[in-house]
Amino acid sequence: MSSHNVLSPRQKALQINLNETIYGSFAEIGAGQEVARHFFQAGGAAGTIARTMSAYDMAMSDAIYGQTGRYVSEERLISMLKTECSTLMQRLDLERGEKSRFFTYANTVTAKGYRGGGNYHGWTGIKFQHSPGSEPSQVIVHIKMLDNQNLFQQEAIGTFGVNLIHSCYFANDSMENFVRSLMENLTDERIQIDAIKVTGPAFEHMDDRLLSLELVSNGYTDVIMFNAEGKVVQPSEELYKKNIVTLRGSFRPPTLLNVEMLEKGVQQLRNNLPDEERDNIVTLAEISMNRLIERGAIDSADFLARIDMLASINQPVLISHFQHFHTLSHYLSGICRRRLAFAARVHNLQDIFDEANYKNLDGGFLEAFGTMFGKNTQIYVYPEKADNEDTLLLSDSVTLSAHLKPLMEYFKNNNFIQDIEDFNPNVANIWSRKVVEKIEAGDPTWETMVPESVAEAVKKSELFRSG
């Protein structure tokens, strides 16, 4: 691997300032003008900065960018970029358009203030020309700020903003370089990126789904999410105040059993909700990173195929770094603030009750279960058939040590663990690996094991064919 010289934020800002073709504006709301400050302090800012804007007052912000439901939102950021870019181009295109690559950088963030704690996060982005006169390209990013002091948060925002602008002009040759450069001079203990979207001619060689995969692969975020259309979305905005049914798996490919488990999970959760909440349920297909790399290095085509197949059945997807159920439960329950249910098989329940999984926790098994089973979390166990057997296994089929049996009884007696009783036994033994085996063997009966839209996607793209 070739060595890479990491420039400081000041060096990056100076490199941009000394480039006679890069010229633009800054609009920052929520944590000072920290990005623009780097360019002023680096020297030569007159060669880069057309203007800076900081509309902190909500009424002033509305007057400039239009009204919006929330001020720290993707909607507000897009409005800022559109307004500032239009103003810049209208006023300066005739004067500088032939030689300049215009840009508009914007952010809207909520940082730590004097009044208590909160969820410190922000939307930041850039609209820019990769060559003079070209159609603008755009990057939109959602970040979580993890520093516990306002000054440190401001510093992190400033560094990230400089990285973003510099990356667009100097590190967009590959997805790996682009993502890596966004986090230079930062760590995931200060900033996490949980959504990134790119559009325009500068990114014709990139897929923002694969950019998102790069984020989670490199540990720059714990999760990435795709909505039912397969588009990148920000998890907390999609899942906030929603009741969630989650199914963990490989979904290679999604099967009729996967669909059945989610449907029955929704039915079971609905029966456990008050009337006003019964229509406020979303389903999630969750794939952990170890599932993506179980056959070796991550295959980008295979990853995109899974997202596309799940989108074909209108199923949102979460890709996570969480190996165990309790860490995923902690993350989701912290976002949704409602009820959380896992649709699981008997072998999943066996894994959850395996004490060996929690040896690295200070509180061991009890810590994991305290995290797993908040007052709003349940597990719905779908019956499972053992290979080459007709016997259906239920939650009481889990093999437990004597000292764990009372704990299982407690969770079942208090409805934290429930068996799904209304199920289709004809799909209870459909496994993704069996579907792939049939496809590889040229056995057409695999089509009866998956949703019709998934079968069409597999045949159209010739997925999972041997050789």
SS3 per-residue string spanning 244-263: EEEEECCCCCCCHHHHHHHH
Written as one letter, the residue type at 203 is F
Mean pLDDT of the chain: 92
Distance CA 416, CA 418 (A): 6
pLDDT of residue 385: 78
Query: Measured on CA atoms in the order 130, 135, 136, 140, is the torsion positive or negative?
Result: negative
Give the mean pLDDT of 340-364.
94
Give the mean pLDDT of 418-445.
92
Look at domain 236-461 and name its CATH class: alpha beta
Distance CA 18, CA 394 (A): 68
pLDDT of residue 1: 39
Residue 389 confidence (pLDDT) above 70: no
Per the structure block, which two tokens stand in for 443?
């056995």
Distance CA 374, CA 407 (A): 15
Band (pLDDT 50/70/90 cuts) for residue 292 is confident
Domain boundaries, the chain: 9-221, 236-461
Distance CA 15, CA 105 (A): 17
Give the global pTM: 0.91
Distance CA 228, CA 314 (A): 4
Band (pLDDT 50/70/90 cuts) for residue 31 is confident
Residue 467 confidence (pLDDT) above 70: no
Band (pLDDT 50/70/90 cuts) for residue 260 is very high
Residue 391 confidence (pLDDT) above 70: yes
Q: Please check whether residue 311 is in contact with residue 253, taking contact to mean a CB–CB distance below 8 angstroms.
A: no
Question: What's the chain's length in residues?
Answer: 467
pLDDT of residue 317: 97
Give the mean pLDDT of 309-332.
95
Q: Please check whether residue 187 is in contact with residue 220, taking contact to mean a CB–CB distance below 8 angstroms.
A: no
Written as one letter, the residue type at 167 is S
Residue 151 confidence (pLDDT) above 80: yes
Q: Which of 81-85, 252-256, 287-291, 320-324 has the least mean pLDDT?
A: 287-291
Answer yes or no: CATH 3.90.950.20 is held by domain 9-221.
yes
